[in-house]
Amino acid sequence: MNHIHKPVDNIVRETPIQLIFRIVWVSIIFNIIYATLSIVADSSTAFNNWNAVGSITYDTFFLLLFIVVQLLITTYLIISRYSVYYKIEEDYILHKTGILTKKEERFKLNGIRAIHIHKKFRGNMLQYGDIEIIAQMDQQKITLYAIPNPEQLVYFIGQIENMQQ
Which positions ≥6 away from 153 have C-beta within 8 Å?
7, 12, 88, 131, 144, 147
Report the pLDDT value the prediction gives residue 157, as an integer from 0 to 100. Answer: 83
Confidence of residue 163 (pLDDT cuts 50, 70, 90): low
User: Using one digit for the tens of pLDDT, what is the confidence trace for 21-67?
Assistant: 999 999 999 989 888 887 877 776 666 666 656 677 777 777 888 89
Report the pLDDT value the prediction gives residue 139, as an integer from 0 to 100. Answer: 76
pTM for this entry: 0.75
User: Using one digit for the tens of pLDDT, what is the confidence trace for 9-23?
Assistant: 688 999 999 999 999
- Above 60 in pLDDT, residue 1? no
Phi/psi of residue 99, each to 5°? -100, -60
The amino acid at residue 29 is: I
Report the pLDDT value the prediction gives residue 101, as an integer from 0 to 100. Answer: 83
Q: What is the DSSP secondary-structure string of 39-60?
A: HHHHH-GGGTT-EEETTEEHHH
The amino acid at residue 50 is: W
39 or 86, which is more confident? 86
CB atoms near residue 57 (< 10 Å): 16
- Above 50 in pLDDT, residue 4? no
CATH architecture assignment, domain 86-164: Roll (2.30)
User: Using one digit for the tens of pLDDT, what is the confidence trace for 103-130?
Assistant: 999 888 777 888 999 999 999 999 999 9
- Above 90 in pLDDT, residue 156? no
3: three-class secondary structure by DSSP: coil
130: exposed, middle or buried (Cβ count in 10 Å: 0-12, 13-18, 19+): middle
